[in-house]
Amino acid sequence: MVEPVSAFLPLAAADVADVLTDLFLVLLAAKVGDEVFKRIGQPSIVGEILAGVLIGPSVLGLVEPGEVLEVFAELGVVFLLFWVGLETRVSDIREVGRTALLVGVLGVVLPFAGGLGLGAGLGEDAGTTVFLGAALVATSVGITSAVLIDLGVLRSRPSRTILGAAVIDDILAMIVLAVAVGIAGGEGTGAPQVGNEVTSIVVVAALAAAFVAFFALGGTRVMQRWPRLLKEPRFSESPLLPAVIVCLGLAAFAAQIGLAAIIGAFLAGMMVAETKEQHPIEDEVAPLYAFFPPFFFAFIGLELDLAELADAETLGLLALVTAVAAVTKLAGAWLGARSMGGREALFVGVGMVPRGEVGIIVAGIGQAAGVIDAQLFAVIVGMSVATTLLAPPLLRSLRPSPGADGGRAAAPG
């Protein structure tokens, strides 16, 4: 801001000033976007994403999406899913288990097939085609979760189905991505033996499933039996830090074994929820849930590069990819949920559509592997943002009855 100073400042101190300025600008923009969209009756997270587009490289260029902001964005979606986990009981998910499994599996198979068909139809080679399929697979449950909380329907049957399906979806997406990286690597970037790869993928997938089962079933029981693990009663302490440590620990562990960090955070939330009778844990987590998630939504907008999309051919491709991504996911999830009845199945289908940060991450991996070029990267990022912006208004119009939720999930914004 003030030019003459920097001559005396070391890089390190100037960096700190710039990082603080970025954090300030992102939080301010997201809050303004949120308020504006609330006032015009639109979903506030759409306002936060568009605020990110506005201050990002696409329009004003005030903020670049760097490493620190990415970490804040990641913690944003981690605390978002931790909050969702706090509002969810294992029994809620078990009740809808069979439907959630179907939604998860069909919601992966159809988009993957759609992506493969699209790649083949466009005449891409095998590595690019399989990556396009992988990029269309993974749902970003963060976006939908925020809308569900906003609508006060987090504990309704379709919402619980979406949450259960998102866990299945992520495990399958991890396997699909591993296969895609293996094939892309096999095309000449020095991949290990195919036999080793298959073994590793099986091991990793089994580990992921075991992790989810262990913490969802065992972890919650441990917490039920020994709630004082979170609050040692001899000290008049808050259980906040122990709860946050469990959250970060499981998020880190999930990420280390190749799952999304948010799966770990969600499991941690369900575990901590078992001690809710003993502690006012939600009141204490609420400020973290208010502080971090705006960075997540704004960061999605920051990553969009409108200039890369500014020719007719690219826009056409974007429309095509977005349509395939939306229709295949909607159809797959709807098929899986159709036993719930038309309107609720449609709600589940729409709720699975947003690709959010997951699509962007997969596109980045494909670019690093050399099979996704700059145009296709921009298209996949555009598809991720487009599917993310599409879902919230549709979810609002399809809103199910609140069920057992009763608005309990509302938090300070």
Q: Where are the beta strands (DSSP E) in 135-246?
A: none
User: Which of 399, 383, 384, 386 shows the shortest CA–CA distance to 346?
Assistant: 399
Q: Where are the beta strands (DSSP E) in 115-222?
A: none
Closest CB to a second copy among 106 and 304? Answer: 304
Token reading at 72: 């804040």
Among 57, 59, 70, 276, binds a second copy (CB under 8 A): 70
361 binds a second copy (CB under 8 A): yes
Among 31, 94, 276, 408, binds a second copy (CB under 8 A): 31
- Residue 228 and residue 239: Cα distance in Å, rounded? 9
Instruction: Please provide residue 182's backbone torsions phi and psi, each rounded to the nearest 5 degrees.
Output: -60, -45
Q: Considering only 8-16, 48-56, 98-106, 145-153, which stretch makes contact with a second copy by CB under 8 A?
A: 8-16
Closest CB to a second copy among 235 and 313? Answer: 235
Q: How far is the CB of 403 from a second copy (least distance, A)?
A: 23
Q: 32: buried, middle or exposed (CB in 10 Å: 19+, 13-18, 0-12)?
A: middle
Closest CB to a second copy among 106 and 362? Answer: 362
For residue 135, count other CB atoms closer than 10 A to its CB. Answer: 35
- Residue 37 and residue 278: Cα distance in Å, rounded? 37
Q: Considering only 70-78, 109-117, 163-171, 378-386, which stretch makes contact with a second copy by CB under 8 A?
A: 70-78
Q: Which of residues 229-258 bind a second copy (CB under 8 A)?
A: 232, 235, 237-238, 240-242, 244-245, 248-249, 251-253, 255-258
Among 59, 68, 122, 309, binds a second copy (CB under 8 A): 68
**Half-sphere exposure for 8 (CA within 13 Å, toward CB):** 4
315 binds a second copy (CB under 8 A): no
404 binds a second copy (CB under 8 A): no
Scan for tokens 């080793």, then name that residue: 196
17 binds a second copy (CB under 8 A): yes
Q: Which of residues 36-55 bind a second copy (CB under 8 A)?
A: 38
284 binds a second copy (CB under 8 A): yes
20 binds a second copy (CB under 8 A): yes
Closest CB to a second copy among 211 and 334? Answer: 211
Closest CB to a second copy among 68 and 327? Answer: 68
Buried b (16+ CB within 10 A) or exposed e, 44-62: bbbbbbbbbbbbbbbeeee
- Residue 6 and residue 12: Cα distance in Å, rounded? 11
How many residues touch a second copy under the rule CB under 8 A: the total is 77
For residue 34, count other CB atoms closer than 10 A to its CB. Answer: 21
Are residues 391 and 143 in contact, defined by beta-carbon separation less than 8 angstroms?
A: yes
- Residue 363 and residue 374: Cα distance in Å, rounded? 10
113 binds a second copy (CB under 8 A): no
**Half-sphere exposure for 49 (CA within 13 Å, toward CB):** 24
Closest CB to a second copy among 286 and 323? Answer: 286
- Specify the DSSP class assigned to residue 408: T
- Residue 135 and residue 139: Cα distance in Å, rounded? 10
Q: Which of residues 186-215 bind a second copy (CB under 8 A)?
A: 192, 197, 200-201, 203-204, 207
11 binds a second copy (CB under 8 A): yes
74 binds a second copy (CB under 8 A): yes
278 binds a second copy (CB under 8 A): no
Closest CB to a second copy among 136 and 360? Answer: 360
Q: Which of residues 157-186 bind a second copy (CB under 8 A)?
A: 177-178, 181-182
Closest CB to a second copy among 17 and 309? Answer: 17
Closest CB to a second copy among 12 and 312? Answer: 12
